[in-house]
Every structure is written in C-alpha cells, then in structure tokens.
Amino acid sequence: MTFKQMYDRVKFTLGAEEIVGNDEVALIKDFLNAGVVNILTRCRPYTRQVQLNLTADTEIHDMAGDILSLLDVQAPDGSFLQRYSREDITRMQKAGEPGFAYEEPLFWYSPVPSDDMSITAYGIFRPTAMSADGDTPTTGNMGGLNPEFHEAIVIYALWKMGEYVQHEGSQQGERWRIQYEGQDGTEGEIARIKRILAKRVTPQGQRRRDLTGNLGGLSGSGSYTGIA
C-alpha cells in the first residue's frame, strides 16, 4: 500500500476531519509512521548491514537514536563479538578484552580503538518517515516492510486514532489494539508477523529431541544397556 492508501483507509474508517484548524489526517500520518517503527522494533523484519564509524580513544559512542535494535557486531578480522552489559564492557575496555554493549543510543566497543576505524554491524535502523502520497513502507529506507505487513500498520494507526477521538464503535480503539497486539501475545498482527518471519529463517522441520543421552542406548537385541 502507498502512504495515501493507508491514511485514506484510516480517515474513511473513522470519519476523520481534514479541515483547517482540525486536520486529523496529519495525526493519522504520524501514527502510520509510528506504526512502522513499532513493527520494526518488536518484530525485527528488516535487518540491515551497515558500517559504524568509531572515533579513536573514545569509550562511549553516541549513535543518536539511528539504531532501533543492534543484533550483531563484527571485529575488523570478521569475527563476531559477544554482547555484554555496560558494567562488564567498561571493565573489559580497561583490560583490552573484545566485546561490545549497546543501550540506545550509546555504544561501547572493546578494546577502545587507538585510531579512527569502521566496523560492520547488523541491526534494525530508524526509517525515514513517509511524507509523499506515493511513499511506501516497502522501500528500504522507509522500513523495508513487505506488503503482507502493511495491514498491521493501518491497524496500529486505527488503534491510536480510536483512542484519540474516543471512537465508540471500537471501544476507544480497544478492538483494534487487540487485533494488533492480541489479548495474550499469541494472537494479533504482531504475533502473525513474528510467525511468518520465524518460518522464513527456519524453513526446516522442527527438530525432535534425542533422548538417548538421558535414557542410554539400546543393544542390538533390544535389551536396555543403561549408562556406564
């Protein structure tokens, strides 16, 4: 869906006003962009590789909120670094041990670089807000969300606008909140997106537990041998 198709859906569903002095469509647009960020943060559907530029002799780097979720970081030799708490990484920086920590928007890298350097990172990054009618969250820098996830953005905006206008038919947006989040976290659009993503990254069948290590092996005759 395009940005215009999305805000028209919300506008016509709620009968929102679009007049000077009370332009509710502007608020709908804000909620649609907030919905993209919410889905990216909670579901991580569009992981990207970027280069992080680190300043020499700097223990803490301010990423200015560009990173929504940092998943992995590679050292210059290509190895993946382990993630630590800020307390542990501060100790490790003093000892020169490898690792990283991230608490938005601050990033710690160890060992502290003695020269300016660039490292590879993988994460979810803040998208550019949609503004033009033809914009779409499918575009990489606007979220990279596949078309099957666009309905969730609309439902998020309906939920927030339903609260704002105190929409009686949806119980002040509660019906759309349940449709978006589910009652217990197992249903709703967020859970659906997570299931789709889980299937895409793990296409093989579910692994079955091998209980041999717990029960011991069986002899050729079928007599239980036990564990030595």
Mean pLDDT to the nearest integer, 155-166: 95
- Residue with tokens 């349940």, as numbered in its chain: 178
Query: Which of 66-70, 163-167, 168-172, 190-194 is least confident?
Result: 66-70
The radius of gyration computed from the CA coordinates of the chain, to the nearest angstrom, equals 24
Q: Give the per-residue pLDDT at 12.
A: 93
Q: ω before 105 within 30° of 0 (cis)?
A: yes
Per residue in 192-227, pLDDT (tens digit) is: 999 999 887 644 444 455 444 444 444 455 444 444
Per residue in 62-105, pLDDT (tens digit) is: 987 788 888 999 999 999 999 999 999 999 999 999 999 999 88
Give the pair of three-digit tokens for residue 183.
């009652």
Percent of the chain with pLDDT over 70: 86
Give the pair of three-digit tokens for residue 52.
């992080």
Per residue in 14-31, pLDDT (tens digit) is: 988 766 567 899 999 999
Least Cα distance to 121 among 64, 174, 83, 177 occurs for: 83
Q: Give the per-residue pLDDT at 205.
A: 44
The one-letter amino acid at 176: W
| Helices within the chain (DSSP H only) | 3-14, 24-43, 86-95, 150-165, 174-181, 188-201, 212-215
Q: How far, in Å, CA of 89 to CA of 110, rounded?
A: 7
Count of CB atoms situated within 10 Å of the CB of 76 = 10
Mean of pLDDT over the chain: 87
Q: How far, in Å, CA of 126 to CA of 68, rounded?
A: 6
Q: How far, in Å, CA of 139 to CA of 128, rounded?
A: 10
| Cα atoms in the 13 Å half-sphere on the side-chain side of 33 | 16
